[in-house]
Structure 1
Amino acid sequence: MTAVELISKVFLPLALAIIMLGMGMTLIITDFTRVIKYPKAILIGLTNQLIFLPLIGCSLAIAFNLNPVMAVGLMILASCPGGPTSNLITQVCKGNIALSVTLTAVASLVSILTIPFILSYALEYFGSNTEATIKLPIIDTLLQIMGITVIPISLGMLIRKHKTSFAKRMEKPMRTASTVIFILVFIAVLAANADKLIDGMKEAGLVTLVLNISTMGLGYLTARFFKLNLKNTISITIESGIQNGTLALVIATSILNNVEMGIPIGAYAIWMFLTAGVLMWQLGKIPNSNSE
Structure 2
Amino acid sequence: MDSWLTSVGLPVALAIVMLGLGLGLTWADFRRVAAYPVLVLVALGCQVVVLPAICFGLVLAFGLRPELAVGMMLLAASPGGTTANLYSHLFGGHVAVNVTLTAVNSVLAVVTLPLVVNLSADYFLSDSRSVGLQFDKVLQVFAIVLVPVALGMAIRARVPALADRLATPVKVLSVVVLVAVIAGAVVKERANLADYFLAVGAIVLLFNVVSLAVGYGVPRLVGVGRPESIATGMEIGIHNSTLAIAVAISPSLLDDTRIAIPAAVYGIVMFFTAAAFGYLVNRRSGPATVVAS
Q: Tell me, yes or no, whether TM beats 0.5.
A: yes
> 2: distance between equivalents of 1:159 and 1:286?
33
> 2: distance between equivalents of 1:125 and 1:6?
33
Runs of 4+ displaced beyond 3 Å:
279-292
1:168 maps to a residue whose letter is D
User: In the alignment, what sits opposite 1:149?
Assistant: 145
Contact 1:25 1:167 in 2 (8 A): yes
Contact 2:23 2:149 in 1 (8 A): yes
> 2: distance between equivalents of 1:10 and 1:267?
18
Contact 1:16 1:148 in 2 (8 A): yes
Query: Which digits, 9 at most, give the CA deviation of each residue in 1:8-48, with x for residues without a partner?
Result: 34322211111110110000000001100111111111111
- Whether 1:180 aligns to 2:176 is yes
Shift of 1:220: 2.1
Deviates more, 1:262-271 or 1:235-244: 262-271
Aligned residues: 287
User: In the alignment, what sits opposite 1:207?
Assistant: 203
- Whether 1:265 aligns to 2:263 is yes
- Whether 1:135 aligns to 2:132 is yes
**Secondary structure at 2:84 match in 1:** helix
Deviates more, 1:221-230 or 1:279-288: 279-288
> 2: distance between equivalents of 1:8 and 1:209?
19
User: In the alignment, what sits opposite 2:221?
Assistant: 225
> 1: distance between equivalents of 2:117 and 2:27?
37
Contact 1:86 1:100 in 2 (8 A): yes
Shift of 1:277: 2.0
> 1: distance between equivalents of 2:233 and 2:179?
21
Shift of 1:288: 9.8
Shift of 1:176: 1.4
Query: Which digits, 9 at most, give the CA deviation of each residue in 1:66-88, with x for residues without a partner?
Result: 11011001011001020101001
> 2: distance between equivalents of 1:238 and 1:10?
22
Contact 2:39 2:219 in 1 (8 A): yes
Shift of 1:287: 8.7
Contact 1:208 1:268 in 2 (8 A): yes
CA 1:290–1:224 in structure 2 vs 1: closer, same or farther (change >3 Å)? closer
User: In the alignment, what sits opposite 2:237?
Assistant: 241
CA 1:169–1:285 in structure 2 vs 1: closer, same or farther (change >3 Å)? farther
1:82 maps to a residue whose letter is G
CA-atom RMSD in angstroms: 1.9
User: In the alignment, what sits opposite 1:15?
Assistant: 13
Amino-acid identity (%): 34
Contact 1:21 1:155 in 2 (8 A): yes
1:259 maps to a residue whose letter is T
**Secondary structure at 2:92 match in 1:** coil
Contact 1:196 1:263 in 2 (8 A): no
- Compute the TM-score of the two structures, normalised by the length of structure 2: 0.92
User: In the alignment, what sits opposite 2:76?
Assistant: 78
Deviates more, 1:250-259 or 1:9-18: 9-18
Contact 1:48 1:219 in 2 (8 A): yes
2:175 maps to a residue whose letter is T
CA 1:137–1:220 in structure 2 vs 1: closer, same or farther (change >3 Å)? closer
User: In the alignment, what sits opposite 1:104?
Assistant: 102
- Compute the TM-score of the two structures, normalised by the length of structure 1: 0.92
> 1: distance between equivalents of 2:189 and 2:282?
28
Contact 2:44 2:105 in 1 (8 A): yes
**Secondary structure at 1:228 match in 2:** coil
> 2: distance between equivalents of 1:281 and 1:173?
21
Gaps of 5+ in 1: none
Deviates more, 1:164-173 or 1:191-200: 191-200
User: In the alignment, what sits opposite 1:253?
Assistant: 249
CA 1:185–1:283 in structure 2 vs 1: closer, same or farther (change >3 Å)? farther
2:254 maps to a residue whose letter is L
Shift of 1:289: 5.4
